[in-house]
Amino acid sequence: MSEEYEKISDEVVEQVLRDFDFEKIKRVMDFLNWKWSDGKVPTVTQIFFVARGLLMKVASGECWGTGTGGLYAIRNTEQLSLRFHAEDSMASISEE
């Protein structure tokens, strides 16, 4: 395993979870009527546990980033982050 994929401590995961505003995400999801695969807008508890699972997967060194349901856990050599995305846009920068 390369240096940048070493395991990140559970304490760092817990800090990210403590600093994330799950209530705000719930309000946004309610406003947008953002339903998960069960056909319902998730509860704060459901959002928390999905976020925790994503963070644990990334923190274990299994991958550099993963996401579902608008939540994304991402790591680099200096930090672990949890994000909520309601909109993204991308374009290829290659000239082909």
What does residue 48 show for φ and ψ, rounded to 5 degrees?
-60, -50
Q: What is the pLDDT of residue 92?
A: 83
Question: Domain spans of the chain?
Answer: 8-84
The model carries a pTM of 0.85
Instruction: Give yes or no for a contact between 41 and 34, defined as CB atoms under 8 angstroms apart.
Output: yes
Overall residue count recorded for the chain in this entry: 96
| pLDDT tens sequence across 76-94 | 888 999 999 988 888 888 7
| pLDDT tens sequence across 7-34 | 888 999 999 999 999 999 999 999 999 9
Long-range contacts of 85-93 (CB under 8 A, 24+ apart): 86/28, 86/32, 86/34
Q: Is the pLDDT of residue 3 over 50?
A: no
What does residue 61 show for φ and ψ, rounded to 5 degrees?
95, 5
